[in-house]
Structure formats: C-alpha cells, structure tokens
Structure 1
Amino acid sequence: MGVSEKSYMMRTVASRGSLVQQLLQVLLFCSLVALLLQQVAAQGSWKVIVENAGIASMHTAITHYNTAVLLDRTDIGPSQLPLPNGVCRNDPDDESSKHDCTAHSALLDLATNTIRPLFVQTDTWCSSGQFRADGTLVQTGGDNDGLSKIRTFAPCPGDGDCNWVETNVPLQNGRWYASNAQLPDGTQIVVGGRGIATLEYVPPNGRGTTYIPLIANANDAQNDNLYPYVHLLPNNQIFIFANQDSLLYDWQTNKVAKNLPVLPGGPRNYPSAGSSALLPLSGFNGWADVEILICGGATYGAFLNPGAALPATQSCGRIAPLSANPGWALENMPLRRNMGELLLLPDRNVFIVNGAANGAQGWGNAQNPVLTPVLYNPNGAPGTRFQTLTATDIPRVYHSTANVLPDGRILIAGSNTHQFYTLTGYLPTELRIEAHTPYYIGAGARPVIANAPGELAYGARFTATVDNGNAKFIDLNLLSAPYSTHSFSQGQRLLQLATSAPAAVGGGSYTVTATAPPTSVIAPSAYYMLFAVSDGFPSVAQWVHIG
C-alpha cells in the first residue's frame, strides 16, 4: 500500500470517527433537550382560559356541579359584565352606583369556560363564606348594606338558572373581613371582622355570640387581626390565629381551651396577609397527626406606609397544636411573599401561589408581584421541602383567588389593588382567568376512578375500582371545596383514607377498599372531591357526599 493510499484510509477513518463523534454529540444534545423539557413539564404550565370574565373575583368557590362561583364587590361601579335582559340593581345605599345594570358575581362553567352573570343585591366586599352539607354556598357579611347580610347560592349545572338569594335573617354582629368554618353540627362558626372581637354561629344554634380576647388583643394600628385563620381540628376544637397569636377554642362550651405560643416573624393576617392551611390528615394513623402551616406575611408598617415597599416575610411556621407542648418550627420559603395562598393538592403536597414580595394588602400597597409558585412537601426533611415551579406572566396580588379544580388543575382569578376597576397602569385590575396545570398532569399515566359510591356514610367501608393504578398502593384522598378570599381558603381540608392493598381485577384495573371518615368532626358533612393517587399521579376527581 502506497503512502497516498495509507493517507486516504487514515483520513477516511478519521472522518468516520468525526461523524460518529458528531452523531454522539447530537444524541447527547437531544437527550439534554428532552430532559430539560421533562423538567419544565414537571414544573407545570399556565393557560388563560377566560380572556375577560367581566369581573375581578375576590371570592371564588368550586361547586359539585363543576362550576366556579365568582364574586366581587357591588360598590365598585359598573363591571364589564352586563346583567341579562335589562335586569338592573337599584340600591339607594350604594356608594358608587345607585342604578347598576352590570353583574358583580358570575358562574364559570369549567367544562366550557363560559361565564354566566349572577345577580347579587347587597355589598359583598371582603365577606366570608362556606359550603353547608347540601352543597349550598353560605355567604356572610360585607360592607355597607351587606354588613349583616347572609346570602345563599344553591348551585346548579353551568346552563342552569341558579342565582343568589338574600335571606331575611341577619348576622347577630355585622362582619367585614371575617372567616367561616363548617362545624360538625351543620352550622358555621363565623369569627371576627373589622371592629368585632366576637364569634357567632350561622344559622344560630342557641350559643349566641362570644367575645374572643385574642381577636381584640391582636388589634394594632394596622388591625392585623382581620380574616383570622380558623380550622376545625380532629379533637372537635377550633384553631384560631390572628396577627401572631393563636388558641384552641371549644365551640361546644364557648370557652378558650388553650392559648398557644406566639409565632415569630411579624403579623400574618390581613392586611399583612400570609396564608394558612391545616396539613393533610390521615386515616392510617387514626387522624392523630395534626399540624398547621402558616407562611408569609408583611413587615409591620407596610400597610401604614405603602410607599416604603417594605419586604414581605419569608418564613413559614409549623405547629402541632394538639401536642403536649406545642411550639412553632420555622423554615424559610425560597421567595419572600405576602398575599400568597396555600392550597392542598390531591397528592398531599402544598401549592403556594399569588402575592407580592413587597408591601401589604390594600389599594396601591403591593409592589414586585411574585410570579413563581412554590411547592411544599410536608413529608420532606427540613431544608428539602420547597421547590420553585414554572412562573406565570400575570401578576396576582390584592383581591386574587386560587382553587383546586376536580381535574387537578389550579384556577387563578382576580387581582385588583385599586378602589375601582383600573384597566391600565401598574398592576391593573385583572379580568383574565387562568389555570395552572401542575407537574402531576401529563407526566405519566393518570389513574381513573372507574367506579366509586357517590354517597359515603361515616365510618363505613366502601370499594372503589381504579384503572391504570399501581399494583402495590393506591391512595384515596378526599379534598373539600373551600371558599378562597384574601389569601385564605376557608374550610380547606384534605383527608387520606385508610385503604387496603389494591386487588387486581384484570385489564389494568384494581379494587381498593377504604374506610370513610369516622365522624363529622373529621369530615363535616359536605361534598368532597375524591381523588385516586397512584405513583404520585392523581386521577380526575369524583364528587362524593359525606354525611
């Protein structure tokens, strides 16, 4: 072989080696891109589902007809959603529009993303609410002519004609910025409000109203005791938190059962606006592990000095209120945040969304919106519990809401940091509604609830059939439908049912036997979303009624 032939062969081998190397580089690049796309998908995605709802919802609740009730103030002037057929609201007490032919409430059909205007007469500004056992939304208080009002909304399908009803039975104390919780006896406890340091029951149960020193003592120049955090605990006591203080309240005797330690880190309630959640309860341990999580808030003085842009709080506090010596364990979120909302997800993680990094609640008092949601794993080791997720590009600050949907997505609505609708400028009034698709949708085969009872009796065993499940373990989790307003989901609770090991029935289907919650103390009678969770992936929920 001559020199030229050897040279040619060497060049050919080198060329082939180069091609192989290039091919490997391309394959490596494609693998990295695929991995990156998987990571991005795992962090979730955002989509606007309604370009203009006509109102900015400051109160939102999901009904068992798969509709969302949207509710704003009535004294905000005309909305962008006309009432039908020439219907108008005439209110001589309204501070903005005595004659108003636009809607201030609406019903969103989650199947079609269509909006139907609803009629509400009295002012619902900064009111409170909760679903009762039959699925009717009870809505309490507000401002001006709505201060002592009790309203009801009996839901219907999206194409129905259900609407608000203003009852003739008033609250015993007028309430503005109060919080509600459903009780085991079917009544609701309504706690606090501006200038009101009492609690009462709706409908009245003979216990009257009770003065709560904690609510009064939490008053400061900012009134950081508004929208107190209220949770029904498995021992049938009520956890109440305002400003930095909390207690256990025995609603059956109308007495304070125990005062709890102060949570460090500044005020946590309106207008400083952190958020709170009762962490998931489990039937596997007899509902015994009870913990409260409170995250975020504002630096004291942020509400009084809106131009100062004081930084939001970064810490979360976690407490086991029923332990012998309860104390707060502190941990920092990845981002400072006030006006965020803590949502319990079907897989028992916590989703933290909305809010701002500076300022406080109130008109024109929010700066630097936090666009990045955060995932919190309650079962993770301290220091490993938080994960940042995909950011939205729509700021959601004062008067925004967040709700978990039956398909596992997160519905985000509202945001209005102005006295009236202001559609231009910094942080304009937000009329768009968007949905966040979490990390657990589209990342794998979701289980399907093929069969489950629609009615559950307390303590009864029942069987559910689940397709696409895992042969080793399938969770059945019940999630309530809370009332979202002012960074707090009133009535939110998630219950992990005690279940048997899955039994294969063929064709990729499994049966799971579960035990329903034992009493209305664990699960107040209501409609709940039943999720099957397998390998971390939740099904679309089936609505079930308990009680």
Structure 2
Amino acid sequence: MGPSTEWLLYLFVFTYLAFALADLPGTWELLVPNAGIASMHTAVTRFGTVVLLDRTNIGPSRRMLPRGHCRYDPSDAVLKKDCYAHSALFDPQTNQIRPLMILTDTWCSSGQFLLDGTLLQTGGAMDGFKKIRKFVPCDPTQLCDWEELKDAELANGRWYATNQILPDGSVIIVGGKAANTVEFYPPRNNGALLLPFLANVEDSQMDNLYPYVHLLPDGHLFVFANNKAILYDYESNKVIRDYPPLDGGPRNYPSAGSSVMLALNGDYLTAVVVVCGGAQYGAYIQKSIDTPANGSCGRIVATQADPVWEMEDMPFGRIMGDMVMLPTGDALIINGAQAGTQGFELASNPCLYPVLYRPDQPLGLRFMTLNPGTVPRMYHSTANLLPDGRVLIAGSNPHYFYKFNVDYPTELRIEAFSPEYLSPDRANLRPVIEEIPETWLFGEGFNVFVTVPLPVVGLVEVNLGSAPFATHSFSQGQRLVKLTVSPAVPDSNGRYRISCTAPPDGRVAPPGYYMVFAVNQGVPSVAKWVQLVT
C-alpha cells in the first residue's frame, strides 16, 4: 500500500467516524461554566432546584459564603476558619447558584428525601460521622439553608452508607465503613441492628460500601454488596433469601459499578434489578489505574421464587457510571472511566459515551451508544433527572483537594444531557400536562388532562419518578412507577383526559413528592410535582 493510498484510507476512516458520531442520539449543553463547587452529592428538590454538596475539609472551593458567614473547625488541617461554600443551591431555570452553609464534614455521606420533601442527610467523616442534617427546600425566590440537628444523632457513625425511604415514610440507613448495621430515621428504640451480611465479604477490598438498596413491592429490601445480594426483612431484621452471586467480580464501592430497579408496572408484583459495570478484582488493592473496567451487566427478577442472573455486556467497560431511570422506563448510563477503580486518582481513560439501556428489547439488543460528551466525569461525579426530562451532570473531583493543572482536573462545570426524546423532530409528540391533582391518596382514581400538538395514537403513559440522592455511582431512593391508565379521551376543550389510578400502597411507591410525567410515544412531558400521601 503506497503513501497516497494509506492517506486516503485514513481519510475515509476519519470521515466515516465523524459522520457516525454526528448521528448518535442525544445532545449536550453547558449550563454553568463555573459552579464554584464540585458536587459529590446531588439532589433535585420539589421546587426544581438542585442541591450541590461537597465535603467540607476539601480546602478552598471556588465560591465564597456570604460576607460574615464562616465555619470554624480547629481540627481542619487546611482551613480552621473557612469562609468558602461547600454546598450550593442551583436553579436550572435561571442557571443561578446560591451558596449554602454546611458545618460538619459530609465526605462520602448519604441522603434521602422525606415524605414532606425535606432532604435528610446523614453521616460523613470526622466531625460529620454521626451527624444528621436537614435541608427544607423553598421557592427559588426565598432563602433556605442547611440545619444540623442538635437533638438527634446516628447510633453508629456512617461513612459510605446508603439511605432508602420505607413504605411508612421513615428512612433506613444501611451500612458504612466498619458499620455492618442498619438504623432508622426517625430513630427507633432498638438503635442500630447488626446485619452480618454486610460483613460477609470475601476479600479485603471491602466492596460492601454504598450497598445497592432497593425497596421491592412486597415491602422487603433487596440489598446488594460486593457480588452478593439478599432479600431482607428490616422489620424482623432477618434475611429471607440469599440470591445467587453475580458473576464478574465485585461491584460496590470501591469497585464502582451501579444499579437500578427497573420501572414497576402492571400488577406491581414483579421487580427487576440491574447491576452494571465495576472494577476488576484486585484493581483497588493494587491501586491500578489502567486495569480495564468490567463491561458486564447482571439482571435479576428479584421477586421470583428461584431467580437467576441474566448476563449481558455493555458497549464499554465502565467504572463510576451513573444509572438514571428516565421517564420512559429506559435507563441512561453516563459518566465514569474505562480503566482503574474508585478512589482518588485511581482511574484513567474517561468513558465519554453515554449508553441507553432499553429493558424491553431482547437480550443482546438492549444497549444503544449515545452522543459523547467532552468533559471527563471521573470520581465524585453525579447525574440526576430534571423535571424537564434532561439529565443534570455535575462534579468530578478525583483529588484530595481542588486541582486544575492535572490530567483530570476538578470539574466545576455543570452540564445537561438531553436524550433523543427531546430532539426537535419529536416536539410534535411532546405532551403538556394541563391539569393534575397536586395530592394523591394511595389507590385513588383521578383524571389527568394533557394536550399534544399531534393527535394521540396509542396509550399515553403517566409515570412517577422519584428524586433520588445521587452519589458515588448510585442514586439512593431512585424509583419509577408506571400508573394504570385508560386510553386518552379527547374533551371539548381540545385536551385529552386520562383516567389514572394511584399506586396501591407505600411498598410500591413510598409517600412523598414525585415528578409525574405524561409519556406519549416515548416522549415525556415536563413533569408536575405531586405529593403521594397515606
């Protein structure tokens, strides 16, 4: 092959790849060039604002607290008087950011929204180890801030724990480093209960941190740690069932896989859990930054009598990927790296390609590669569904402190990824919720009224999406519930009436605030916030 022929071949390959990449679905948007804070923990409130939260002993952030507001910590080795913000409130409608005041260390802590919309935030490191904090959200025109509880603390210190709201609206707090127990908020008289499963990992990596916890529609918990899972009755503190191990090595922190429970629908008796990605065994122990990431996913019907894991491979090996349930019932896998493990400066080869997981497709056809981003999102990055259907992407700080002159710098940019359902060619399918009750009772029937630019063909879904607490590649409390609905009926006002039935009880959808989407031919509306009450 001569030089000219070789050059033409390279040109052909480059041109082909350029056109192929241009055709990939999804678009990216830079919302904020400098948030000032690298968000380690991110949550969307019922007002549509977004809580950004980092650790407090990170040294100077790039956003100051209001004048006269400083935290004082004599044990902080860097800033004993700290006037920098380590939490903030972001408004996606205006792209404005307001600093918030957090006092104790929230490094690798956990969180969950309570039934009244308050964000419960628990644990952390050092002076935050046993702390309980609350953020009562408010309208963006008002001022609200963090409150650190003085009359209650955790029974056990929690670092790398997982929170899950329960059917009665209380919250269970599961695990953490050297905390093989569970406890509840509001606190129960029995304090912390030993859960030996969390200690029964078979290696020194301690891949039982940030366990994957899913509330099943039978009221029990699916708890996954390392490569094993149990069905757990938290009321009696008993393990009901051991699930078969998942092939492919450890998945939890620090091996950095991710997990979702797929949408609940129909009679709500079936729950399917998916676990994807992770580091190769030994990568964390050896501090290997170039060991290829695991590309396998396991899928299990957690409510089956004798379930087995169904295995499939993603287009890319991935660690530190975030799995986000979209309003349609598909799952977006985004962020992360293709080599290394979780931890400070322990990963390489950023995975810039999002992947869409389509659970209703046959095995082997479920993954679709999407349009790549340009910003590496490594350790301590987050992804959260917004009410308008976009996915907010924040964070990435794979260093002990904020660093910028390195290969993978501390990331202060906030982006939004728009799935293909928001593309201009689908705008005529996008419904608008015109009327919906703001409060629902379990099991009650009600009507939702929508408008659609083009006539409705087929069923318009009405789906509830929770607002989870996203951190360390797992969204705590994430949930999507598809309501039982009747076909859309046109009325005299040019609207469509959809008869719906609320979830039957708190096992299917715990009480609290949800984003409600109308979905027409795979295109979701902007969500309305509703409160599900007992």
Deviation string for 1:260-298 (max 9, x for gaps)? 11001011000001000011000xx21022100000000
Residue 168 (structure 2) pairs with residue 185 (structure 1): yes
Alignment match, 2:261: 278
Q: CA deviation at 1:443?
A: 3.0
Residue 499 (structure 2) pairs with residue 517 (structure 1): no
Letter in 2 for 1:172: A
Q: Residue 261 of structure 1: which of 229, 237, 244 is its match?
A: 244
Alpha carbon RMSD of aligned pairs, Å? Answer: 1.5
C-alpha contact 2:444 2:501 (8 A) present in aligned 1: yes
- Going from structure 1 to structure 2, the CA distance change for 1:308 and 1:59 (only over 3 Å counts) comes to closer
Letter in 1 for 2:410: T
CA distance in 1, matches of 2:360, 2:254: 30
Residue 392 (structure 2) pairs with residue 406 (structure 1): no
Given the two structures, how large is their TM-score scaled by the length of structure 2?
Answer: 0.94
Alignment match, 1:457: 441
Given the two structures, how large is their TM-score scaled by the length of structure 1?
Answer: 0.91
Letter in 1 for 2:54: D
Deviation string for 1:461-480 (max 9, x for gaps)? 01001100614310000000
- Listed as ranges, the matches of 1:112-511 within 5 Å are 112-168=94-150, 169-218=152-201, 220-282=203-265, 285-307=266-288, 309-441=290-422, 442-444=424-426, 445=428, 446-468=430-452, 470-506=456-492, 508-511=494-497
Q: CA deviation at 1:374?
A: 0.1
Letter in 1 for 2:161: A
Letter in 2 for 1:352: I
- Number of residue equivalences: 510
Which range moves more in the overlay, 200-209 or 242-251?
200-209
- Secondary structure at the counterpart of residue 271 of structure 2: coil
Which stretches of structure 1, 4 residues or longer, exceed 4 Å deviation after superposition? 39-42
- Secondary structure at the counterpart of residue 67 of structure 2: helix
- Secondary structure at the counterpart of residue 306 of structure 1: coil
Deviation string for 1:102-121 (max 9, x for gaps)? 00000001110110000000
C-alpha contact 2:289 2:346 (8 A) present in aligned 1: no
Which range moves more in the overlay, 154-163 or 135-144?
154-163
- Secondary structure at the counterpart of residue 397 of structure 1: coil
CA distance in 2, matches of 1:357, 1:435: 22
Which range moves more in the overlay, 436-445 or 234-243?
436-445
CA distance in 2, matches of 1:307, 1:254: 38
CA distance in 2, matches of 1:462, 1:248: 34
C-alpha contact 1:346 1:531 (8 A) present in aligned 2: yes
C-alpha contact 2:24 2:369 (8 A) present in aligned 1: no
Alignment match, 2:520: 534
CA distance in 2, matches of 1:219, 1:454: 48
Alignment match, 1:545: 531
CA distance in 2, matches of 1:92, 1:131: 31
Letter in 1 for 2:232: Y
Letter in 1 for 2:187: P
Q: Identity across aligned pairs (percent)?
A: 52
- Secondary structure at the counterpart of residue 440 of structure 1: helix
CA distance in 1, matches of 2:377, 2:134: 27
- Secondary structure at the counterpart of residue 491 of structure 2: strand
Alignment match, 1:68: 50
Letter in 1 for 2:188: N
CA distance in 2, matches of 1:368, 1:524: 39
CA distance in 1, matches of 2:528, 2:22: 29
**Structure exhibiting the larger radius of gyration computed from Cα positions:** 1
- Secondary structure at the counterpart of residue 134 of structure 2: strand
Deviation string for 1:177-196 (max 9, x for gaps)? 00000011221100110111
- Listed as ranges, the matches of 1:41-52 within 5 Å are 43-52=25-34
Deviation string for 1:346-384 (max 9, x for gaps)? 111010000100001101101000000000101100011
C-alpha contact 1:296 1:312 (8 A) present in aligned 2: yes
- Going from structure 1 to structure 2, the CA distance change for 1:225 and 1:151 (only over 3 Å counts) comes to same
